[in-house]
Amino acid sequence: WRHIRLQQTGKTASGQTHYLSLSGFEIYGMVTGVCDDLGKAAKEAEANLRRQRRAVKQQIKYMLLGARIVRGPDWKWRDQDGNPPGEGTISGELHNGWIDVAWDQGGANSYRMGAEGKYDLKLAPGFDGEAHLASITSTSSLLNLKQQGKSVTSAIGTTLTSAVMKTARTITTDSSSAKGSVSSRSFGSC
């Protein structure tokens, strides 16, 4: 048999069962029963895990700095995310299949996102990955324009709303504080 079920027995046993998938392994003991549909159940479980991994692979492009995450299909890190399991925030970039996370409960660690073919995390329910990606992309674009010495209004046009201009001013002020002062004349009046 390829799939077997082991059951704990004895005075202190809990009676729990454990399923194993084996290949090229001999077992010595007494066969107490045969369940032919176990292979079907194991195949369904494996197919479900593959389906979950495919879904998480589609989410990786949204797993950027600041994204909200929870346990994924291959989680093996006990209660590092809190008890009960909680949410966390990505605190670093994906590197060699690993990504850094800061948990809401206070801990932090690196988790597999492709390393060893495993995915320990997935996006948190309710987190809008596309909106997060768009906000990071637009913020990065405005910052890059200012760093290149271009006027935001001349590069994008004068149709920017007041809210976007205030965001651009904040980004420029934050990024330039380490470099010195920046003239606000390039923004025009808001």
**CA atoms of 66 and 88, how far apart (whole Å):** 9
**CA atoms of 26 and 23, how far apart (whole Å):** 9
CATH code assigned to 38-143: 2.30.30.40
For position 88, what pLDDT does the model report? 98
Domain ranges of the chain: 38-143
Is the separation of the CB atoms in 118 and 132 below 8 Å? no
Across the range 148-155, mean pLDDT stands at 47
**CA atoms of 100 and 113, how far apart (whole Å):** 10
Extended strands (E) in 2-138: 3-7, 17-21, 68-71, 88-90, 98-103, 108-112, 121-123
Mean pLDDT score of the chain:
76
* Residue 74, pLDDT above cutoff 90: yes
Q: pTM for the full model?
A: 0.56
| Structure confidence by residue, pLDDT tens digits, 16-42 | 677 677 777 676 777 777 666 667 777
